[in-house]
Structure 1
């Protein structure tokens, strides 16, 4: 008789299956995919009602125990989990507590109740309102400010507004594209009990926020039976003069007192939200000049981008946290038991408006680079013949052609090794738009 626990992973792909099988206690688990990975990774169209229905039917047809339902993706996976878990009686946080993190307007209002000094000025607005810019000003926000959808995915449809012209250009794009996320997000909102002032601000709305910035980082954590635990801080470092990420680095290089304050803020806000028995991460800025901390946003999942970093430095991917919590166990996350003192995920980018990829590095070239730099993983994000503008989940300024995970003894070695590797990644393009 097979006594292994059945764990269902929404959007399970081979990359994550391999990692999951390396976790502590994995020999006691059977991992099953729910919803094909292509439906959550390689698309910007999310028929979420249909996805929930198909997932429900697949799980109901399973001949065995359903011990856990998990996922590692942002929308739509994150918002599907509370609905599925409630239906099948498995563990995760409530839909309302999750939405207090993911619905950006609701989240800011809740944050303001307990950590008002650590969040920017904000207001919600309707991008289909021709007087939106005036209403933003009436709310006390003036150019420059940042605009993003109430529910965003990655860095899509986020804009730095520095003039009325850039605002109206952003509005054009928002009106054309916001429905891709707003419509399915509104389907999720229909499952929740919302206060009237939140129900009035649906997925088609946007946020305008005071410009904040500084040294960006992410606090990875979880809540287990009401106790908020932070177990690692990862730095997010950008290319000079632009908003695009250059690499994520772990452990953080922030001063200890800044890290301690972020952990305290995390404990306060997640406890106030009532989030429980699930993983999360919170993105912060430290404005070094003013010595001021800002909370940027709360994500209701671990960061997949950080899995390899924790594995290299601490000895196991922090998917361990998600699985343990879903099974009702206190997470068994080691510390500093990995092969490297430091690790990073690099984004190999081009700053074109658009282009057609005519060549990507071959499998042999990639294998040679991974062998030359032990511990390195390279994941191409494009293929020959692809137009860059077809790539999903890109920021507004560049295209990520490859992800490169590396470990090293220190920061200098990490950067030097990446520069040597990046110089040998051969991509070629045609029809380049600068």
Structure 2
């Protein structure tokens, strides 16, 4: 009998990548809520979103067999809440929060995997003495205990930079912080976390090295891994630049140490019946592995890469977990040996006046059939007004590519980017072309 599985925030493009899976597994993926309400907004009202989701579920008038998440907050917490109400298999809300609340997560990591945890401190951005009370040495990272993507994450190198970062966080942290507090009210917090409200921040010792991410699941008492990715970091801004699959720069022994660490952590917090992606940094000089964060879902950023290399979307794993089956994921059955998703970015301020035309995009896909370009802006957009941008640059779109080798992948990337021209008009200046670049 056909199964019905809900995917909150699923776009038409994402659904299109799942059509083969729907046919092969006799399942129908149904969108719940929409991208605009769950992702492309800075105003999050948890109660309203839950009520709207319940109304949509009632309107379906059919049995629901599963619900899976592939977006960050608020989707990541809405899924376990709805799953509990519907009697569906999913992680508990508490276990999700113990991963996604950055300070609570660090406390649990320090208890379960202390060797891979950097120094950290709780920071109140509304405390006039916050800068004076911090004991971490510069430089360090400062970020809210909950944010969307890299939003409001700052690399702080001096007290002056710290004060500037705290001021910006004070102005904007309420967007997500208040919504996160509404979710924290639904669980019992340990004493050491009760003061770490959604408006608080965490300062963490600066980690250096190669970043990578592990995607897997926790099901049936096992923690299983179905992919490891290299994460490219832009040198100038220290911001995430690309995902490359499979990872080429992380030795297998290092990957095993990271998998062992995330397995211990997930067991410690009681995370089960769900998927995760965990970020790590490996410092080759001292051979030290440190954990950056654990997210409680598959990543939609990885989906096309899995399809190109393995021949199936990562939703296959999420589907099996949601339906209580041991996941069976294909290995290297795709059309490419390596694939990458690269962010198209700019550090220019201003208004978008030109994006690649449909004809230019068509020419790219005709020349490189494995390429996918998704634009995140359109003419007239004010870059500073786009939700969930990181502090150091603006994302204009993404480029996903695949090839039979890493060398060929780099050539495809360079050829595609050379044809993707955006123009940004600075206030008071004439329109200027800004060709975006990314490293893969």
Who is 2:168 aligned against?
A: 173
Which of 366, 370, 382 lines up with 1:371 in the alignment?
366
Q: Are 1:361 and 2:361 counterparts?
A: no
* 3-state SS of 1:280 partner: strand
1:297 Cα deviation from its structure 2 partner:
0.3
The residue aligned with 2:7 is 9
**Matched residue SS, 1:191:** coil
Partner of 1:388: 383
Q: Which residue of 1 aligns with 2:418?
A: 423
Structure 2 counterpart of 1:252: 247
Q: How far does residue 31 in structure 1 lie from its aligned partner after superposition?
A: 2.1
Distance 1:62 1:81 in 2: 17
Using the TM superposition, name which of 245-254 and 25-34 deviates more.
25-34
Judging changes above 3 Å, is the alpha-carbon distance between structure 1 residues 333 and 44 closer, same or farther for their aligned structure 2 residues? same
1:397 matched to 2:395? The reply is: no
Residue by residue over 1:188-233, the C-alpha shift from the partner in whole angstroms, topping out at 9 and shown as x without a partner, is 1111122122122110110011111210010001001221011211
Residue of 293, 299, 317 corresponding to 1:303: 299
User: SS of the counterpart of 1:301?
Assistant: coil
Q: Give the Å deviation of 1:429.
A: 2.1
Equivalence for 1:96: 94
Q: Is 1:340 aligned with 2:319?
A: no
SS at match of 1:22: helix
Structure 1 residue corresponding to 2:282, chosen from 283, 286, 311: 286
Counterpart of 2:159 in structure 1 is: 164
Q: How do 1:187-266 and structure 2 match up within 5 A?
A: 187-253=182-248, 254-266=250-262
| Pairing of 1:47-86 with structure 2 (within 5 A) | 47-86=45-84
Name which of structure 1's ranges 385-394 and 67-76 shifts more when overlaid on structure 2. 385-394
Please point out which of 91, 102, 105 is paired with 2:103: 105
Superposition RMSD on alpha carbons, in Å? 1.5
Q: Tell me what 2:438 maps to.
A: none
- Is residue 330 of structure 1 aligned with residue 310 of structure 2? no
Residues 343-371 of structure 1: CA distance to partner in whole angstroms, max 9, x if unpaired? 0001121122x111111111111011011
Q: Is the 8 A contact 1:20 1:26 kept in 2?
A: no
Partners in 2 of 1:216 and 1:266 — Cα distance?
15
- The structural deviation recorded for 1:109 is 0.6
Deviations, residues 98-149 of structure 1 (Å, cap 9, x unaligned): 1110011110011111211111000112110011122222xxx122211000
Whether contact under 8 Å (2:22, 2:29) holds in the other structure is no
**In 1, Cα distance between equivalents of 2:382 and 2:184:** 34
Q: How many residues align?
A: 428
The Cα shift of 1:321 comes to 1.2
1:25, distance to aligned residue in structure 2 (A): 5.4
Structure 1, residues 305-348: CA drift from partner, whole Å, max 9, x if none?
A: 11111111111111111111111111121111111110000112
- Normalising by the residue count of structure 2, what TM-score does the alignment of the two structures yield? 0.94
CA distance, structure 2, for counterparts of residue 117 and residue 394 of structure 1 = 32
Q: Is the 8 A contact 2:102 2:146 kept in 1?
A: yes
- Report the CA distance between 1:35 and its aligned residue: 1.1
- Structure 2 match to 1:351: 347
**Distance in 1 between the 2:39 and 2:363 partners?**
27
| Distance of aligned partners of 1:367 and 1:102 in 2 relative to their CA distance in 1, 3 Å threshold | same
CA distance in structure 2 between the partners assigned to 1:406 and 1:368 by the alignment: 14
- 1:22 aligns with one of 4, 20, 44: 20
